[in-house]
Amino acid sequence: MRPIDLRSDTVTVPTPEMRRAMYEAEVGDDVYGEDPTVNRLEELAAEILGKEAALFVVSGTQGNQVAILTHTRRGDEVICEAEAHVYFYEVGAIAALAGCQVRPIPGHRGMPAPEAVAAAIRPKNVHFPRTGLICLENTHNRAGGTVLPQDQVEAVCAIAHQHGIPVHLDGARLFNAAVAQGRTARELAAPFDSVMVCLSKGLGAPVGSILAGRRDFIEEARRMRKLLGGGMRQAGVLAAAGIVALTTMVDRLAEDHANARRLAEGIAQIPGLAVDLETVQTNMVFFDITDPRWDASRLVAALEAAGVRCNAVGPRRIRWVTHKDVTAADCDRALAILQETLKAGPTSAGLGPVYG
Ligand SMILES: *Cc1c(COP(=O)(O)O)cnc(C)c1O
């Protein structure tokens, strides 16, 4: 039987419609601005996100870091939530590429309090770095795919703008946040100066993300993308799948959210596990192992052997992510396998190293 892959929504494969669009894509050299399919994707994405212009980038990481490079100067401070992807998972790029330092602010379910952000903004002083940028993340990955309260988002953006500081939205899963609230991505992105969204996560495209913002910002971002080696040539082959992703794959995210809820409610019934149902707001389920016989790395290895793939995100914490290639029946099977595996207890044979 094929394994049920709950490691991430990045493991999705392109739909037949994407494959067809890729095969048929009209292309040109995008560094010359001559790829009609890339141009169409960028116009469509700008429209959907309510910004003047957009840029097709290789990955979410590249989109975020291009945005940070474009907004800041060397020596600036970037304020973000303490477990934000830009800080936690991007290889130190804020320091290594933009030459900025990070001011991490602990948040509640991924949202730093507006007062805490206000307090972290640097006053003008010869000793201090300049606060060059504030970043928020919606949905927030490490908080469990949680949706940021939009009133607090607006409060942070208003404070930033009073100080003349731009705000960037890491919206790798912004469409999940939108669908979960019955709002549009455009509304959620409205208070921000720039926004990055991933096409290759829940939306199922094979490659690519979008950075959107004002026209002059995107013009400079295009130079920064080139600096990072992200100037692509006949990229219309990839952009074609991105167009299908944006036009056909957003509404169905509701299915992934229903499946995550189904998993979470099942996990809540299994002795030896604990899940905070309030954090299960989109397509992720984070759960903790309370059964003392197990730790996360052993359980991940045992589940892998039984046909369920997933990741440990802490010594006793596991993450399950739903996506278009996981059905409700797969979720029921994953729950049954989880329950049986846990009950059987760990055997010493064939299990991977203990999580360090
Ligand atoms: C995945 C992710 C990114 C980076 O996207 P890649 O395409 O993997 O580089 C950025 N931010 C968040 C919140 C993510 O989950």
The pLDDT, as a whole number, for residue 219 is 98
Q: Tell me the per-residue pLDDT of 221-270, one tens digit each, with 9 for 90 and over.
A: 999 999 999 999 999 999 999 999 999 999 999 999 999 999 999 999 99
Averaged pLDDT score across all residues of the chain: 96
- Cα 177 to ligand 1 centroid, rounded to whole Å: 15
Asked whether the predicted pLDDT for residue 62 surpasses 80, the reply is yes
Domain borders along the chain are 9-248, 252-344
Q: Which residues of 2-27 are buried (b: 16+ CB within 10 A; e: fewer)?
A: eebbbbbbeebebbebbeebbeebeb
Q: Tell me the per-residue pLDDT of 318-329, one tens digit each, with 9 for 90 and over.
A: 999 999 999 999
- Cα 137 to ligand 1 centroid, rounded to whole Å: 10
d(CA 301, CA 283): 22
- Cα 228 to ligand 1 centroid, rounded to whole Å: 17
Identity of the amino acid at 261? R
Q: List the one residue out of 159, 144, 168, 157 whose CA is nearest residue 69.
A: 168
Residue of 170, 188, 284 to test ligand 1 pocket, by largest number of atoms within 8 Å of CB: 170
Tell me if 146 CB under 6 Å of ligand 1: no
Tell me if 197 CB under 6 Å of ligand 1: no
The rounded percent of the chain whose pLDDT value lies above 70 is: 97
The pLDDT, as a whole number, for residue 356 is 37
Q: Tell me the per-residue pLDDT of 181-210, one tens digit each, with 9 for 90 and over.
A: 999 999 999 999 999 999 999 999 999 999
Tell me if 141 CB under 6 Å of ligand 1: yes
With 0-12 / 13-18 / 19 or more C-beta atoms within 10 angstroms meaning exposed / middle / buried, residue 61 is: buried
The DSSP code sequence of 121-166 is SPPS-TTSPPEEEEEEESSBTTTTSBPPPHHHHHHHHHHHHHTT--
- Closest ligand 1 atom number to CA of residue 61: 9
d(CA 144, CA 200): 19
Place of tokens 């908080």: 143
- Cα 88 to ligand 1 centroid, rounded to whole Å: 11
User: Which CATH number applies to 9-248?
Assistant: 3.40.640.10
The DSSP code sequence of 63-92 is HHHHHHHHH--TT-EEEEETT-HHHHSSTT
Domain 252-344, what fold? Answer: Aspartate Aminotransferase, domain 1 (3.90.1150)
* Average pLDDT, integer, range 273-285: 98
Residue of 64, 89, 283, 321 to test ligand 1 pocket, by largest number of atoms within 8 Å of CB: 89
Tell me if 295 CB under 6 Å of ligand 1: no
Q: Tell me the per-residue pLDDT of 321-352, one tens digit each, with 9 for 90 and over.
A: 999 999 999 999 999 999 999 999 997 554 55
- Cα 60 to ligand 1 centroid, rounded to whole Å: 5
Asked whether the predicted pLDDT for residue 75 surpasses 60, the reply is yes
The rounded percent of the chain whose pLDDT value lies above 90 is: 96
